[in-house]
């Protein structure tokens, strides 16, 4: 299964995907990495690994529709079976969603549907929850609203900051994102391109709750 990964920043999830591929636990091939920021560390990692990279920048005042079309063209040129948002900090528009219906997944640092948006860990702290975590879901037109494929929980500790909580959440992201990609590759998770609905063969295996 050929995968294009969209990134904006550090790329620790991209690294986790590549590590799982190297270890033989993720049956996928990363055929390209696309960023909206030219200086993303994730791009450096991809380039060092020999993965084709592209940058489709969006600056203040740019035409967002044109950016959405360029992004869709770049992704489509790599002919992926699956598009993975791994720290891509933009909301996708219709051009990409329409070209890859139900074939785009995202990892989010909170237990959706709670705490969508850019500040998942801080919002969880502000909400006073004792358990947070991460979610892998199919991308639809909303912000972190698509069907949920997998979640993992982490405890929220008394002295947590957004940074320490996020770091604990990321350890789980690095487990469940490559696992979901593998499950899609082997057909254990079916993405329905027409309805953007999903069927998870064994939901229990997609829910990981570590000891607290």
Q: Tell whether residue 80 is a contact of ligand GRF (CB under 6 A).
A: no
Taking CB under 6 A as the criterion, the residue among 1, 2, 10, 76 binding ligand GRF is 10
Q: Tell whether residue 86 is a contact of ligand GRF (CB under 6 A).
A: yes
Catalytic residue status for 118: no
The rounded distance, in Å, linking the Cα atoms of 179 and 90 is: 24
Q: Are strands 29-35 and 82-85 parallel, antiparallel or unpaired?
A: unpaired
Q: Which is nearer to ligand GRF, 32 or 87 (CB)?
A: 87
Q: Tell whether residue 160 is a contact of ligand GRF (CB under 6 A).
A: no
Cis peptide before 168 (omega within 30 of 0): no
3-class SS at 171? Answer: helix
Taking CB under 6 A as the criterion, the residue among 4, 6, 9, 100 binding ligand GRF is 9
Q: Identify which of 161, 162, 120, 126 has the alpha carbon closest to the alpha carbon of residue 144.
A: 120
Compute the half-sphere exposure of residue 63: CA atoms within 13 Å on the CB side of its CA. 4
The rounded distance, in Å, linking the Cα atoms of 116 and 119 is: 8
Q: Which is nearer to ligand GRF, 16 or 196 (CB)?
A: 16
| Least distance in angstroms from the C-beta of 58 to ligand GRF | 17
Site string for ligand GRF, 21-60 (x = CB under 6 A): ---------------------x------------------
A 10 A CB-CB count for 165 gives: 23
Chain positions contacting ligand GRF, by CB under 6 A? 9-13, 42, 86-87, 107-109, 134, 170, 173
What residues act catalytically?
A: 108
């Amino acid at each position: 299964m050929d995968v294009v990964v969209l990134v904006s920043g550090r790329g620790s999830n991209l690294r986790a995907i590549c590590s799982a591929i190297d270890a033989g636990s993720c049956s996928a091939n990363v055929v390209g990495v696309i960023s909206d920021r030219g200086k993303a560390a994730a791009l450096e990692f991809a380039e060092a690994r020999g993965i084709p990279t592209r940058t489709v920048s969006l600056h203040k005042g740019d035409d967002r529709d044109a950016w959405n079309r360029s992004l869709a063209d770049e992704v489509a040129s790599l002919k992926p079976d699956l598009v993975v948002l791994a720290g891509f900090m933009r909301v996708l528009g219709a051009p990409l969603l329409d070209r890859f219906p139900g074939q785009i997944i995202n990892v989010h640092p909170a237990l959706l549907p709670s705490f969508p948006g850019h500040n998942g860990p801080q919002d969880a702290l502000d909400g006073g929850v004792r358990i947070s975590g991460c979610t892998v879901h199919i991308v639809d037109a909303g912000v972190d609203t698509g069907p949920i494929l997998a979640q993992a929980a982490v405890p929220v500790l008394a002295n947590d900051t957004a940074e320490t909580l996020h770091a604990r959440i990321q350890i789980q992201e690095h487990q469940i994102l490559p696992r979901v990609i593998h499950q899609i590759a082997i057909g254990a998770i079916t993405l329905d391109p027409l309805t953007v609905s999903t069927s998870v063969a064994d939901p229990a295996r997609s829910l990981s709750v570590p000891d607290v």
